[in-house]
Amino acid sequence: MKRSISERRRKFLALIGAFPISLVSRHSSAQPKQLKLACYYLPGWLQSDGAQLFADKIAQASAGAIEVAVDAGHFLISLDLVAKETAAFAHFCAPCVAKSEPLLNLSSLPMLATTFDETATLNRVARPYYSAALARRGQVLLATQPWLPGALWSNVPIRSVADLKGAPFAAVASSGPAFHAESGWGRPFATLGARSVTFSDAEVIIAGSHPGHMLKLTREFAYFTEIFFATHLTFLAARQDVFDSLSETERQVLVREGRETELQLWKLMRELLPRRQQEIAGQGVRVSAQPPADVIAALRKAAESDIQSWAQSVGADGAAILTEYRRAIGRE
């Protein structure tokens, strides 16, 4: 397993290295400003590699005037504690801290965005609301980073929605930072008649994208269906007081390089999606990259109650996001 994760990380970093990084022309002879980035993912995860990309870009873009040290493996508790960190920056799973800001559960909603293009559109629409939510907690949003989407694993081929009726089913939460919203991922399948069981008894599961699961799942299940169930987001944020203490030029560097980091990471995750499918197929699992249309339609309908419950918990902002997003993708 360690070999698999290491190889995945090597490919990820190689892709990152292929992107040019723009530099500022000035060079400061002064002592570099040293800032810490608290990363709520373990070293070696693709997400913590994203934090390191930001740190590297800041060092280069500031011509060494700002150095960002990534401290990975922090334990995530709440959004308020993130804001109280002594670190200048925080890199964390958005749904993990949604208890205090329900808006941040948006990226965990099932079957709302079913392609990376739709996910990117949802992120664009919701970004001002994300920024406002973090600002209320003393943070400045610099970048978002997507996970690979949740997918369906099974020991029988899923050819139609009828194959889900009565199927022994489990929703498997990601390890590491607890995605609390994943506990509700089983509801749409229950609506379609799946029978809730433990993981050891399940013949069909919905699972997140944590690479630590990959080898185990390829050994346990014979079929993989890319239904693009939900794509969690990671946020990279600066503490407001630290951000305000920097010069105008330094703040511009943070904002610009945060945005550039985000663009690169979204592009990279798009490229990793088919790679994930290839790796799974290489383990002898039968991969369906285009699930049956009736399965997608049925899951989307079954998930609508969860989506509307989220919108009600958020209030007017939730309704505004859904309206604008669905108008943008032509699914009103």
Contact 140, 161 (CB under 8 A): no
Residue 215: the pLDDT is 80
What pLDDT, on a 0 to 100 scale, did the predictor assign at position 11? 56
Instruction: Note whether 78 and 69 are within 8 A (CB).
Output: no
Q: What is the pLDDT of residue 100?
A: 85
Cross-strand bridge partners of residue 39: 72, 91
CB 147 within 8 A of CB 209: yes
CA 292 to CA 305: how far, in whole Å? 22
Per-residue pLDDT of the chain (332 residues; tens, 9 = 90+): 334 445 555 555 555 554 444 434 444 456 889 999 999 888 877 888 999 999 999 999 999 999 999 998 877 667 776 667 689 999 999 998 888 899 999 999 999 999 999 999 999 999 999 999 999 999 999 999 999 999 999 999 999 999 999 999 999 865 433 344 455 799 999 999 999 999 899 999 999 866 667 888 999 999 999 999 999 999 999 999 999 999 999 999 999 999 999 999 999 999 999 999 999 999 999 999 989 999 999 999 999 999 999 999 999 999 999 999 999 999 87
Q: Looking at domain 2-147+232-271, does it have CATH number 3.40.309.10? A: no
Q: Is 87 helix (H, G, I), strand (E, B) or coil?
A: coil
Q: Check residue 212 and give its pLDDT.
A: 65
Beta bridge partners of 67: 34
Domain limits, the chain: 2-147+232-271, 151-229+282-329
* Cβ 196 vs Cβ 186: under 8 Å: yes
In terms of phi and psi (left: phi > 0; alpha: psi -120 to 50; beta: otherwise), the region of 27 is beta
User: Closest by alpha carbon to 51, among 131, 43, 285?
Assistant: 43
For residues 316 and 6, what is the distance between their CA atoms, to the nearest angstrom?
44
Q: In angstroms, how far is CA 276 from the centroid of its own chain?
A: 15
pLDDT of residue 133: 96
pLDDT at residue number 20: 44
Q: Do domains 2-147+232-271 and 151-229+282-329 have the same CATH topology?
A: yes
Q: Report yes or no: 233 and 122 within 8 Å, Cβ to Cβ.
A: no
Q: Spell out where 1-102 has E strands.
A: 33-39, 66-72, 89-93
The answer to whether 137 and 79 have CB atoms below 8 angstroms apart is: yes
Q: What is the pLDDT of residue 156?
A: 94
Alpha helices per DSSP H over 226-247: 240-245
Between the alpha carbon of residue 190 and those of residues 50, 164, 198, 307, the distances in Å are: 35, 9, 14, 16
Distance CA 288, CA 281 (A): 10
Regarding beta strands 195-196 and 168-172, do their DSSP bridges make them parallel or antiparallel, or are they unpaired?
parallel
Closest CA to 42 of 52, 57, 29: 52
Q: 236 is written with which tokens?
A: 């990279």
- Interior CA angle at 299 toward 294 and 304, to 5°? 130
Q: Which residues pair with 154 in a beta bridge?
A: 204, 223
pLDDT at 23: 37
Query: Is 192 strand, coil or helix?
Result: coil
| Superfamily (CATH H level) for 151-229+282-329 | Periplasmic binding protein-like II (3.40.190.10)
What letter represents residue 295's amino acid? V
Question: Do 35 and 75 form a contact (C-beta atoms < 8 A)?
Answer: no
Closest CA to 239 of 230, 251, 249, 231: 251
Q: Which two tokens stand for residue 231?
A: 């794509």
What is residue 43's predicted lDDT score, i.e. its pLDDT? 84
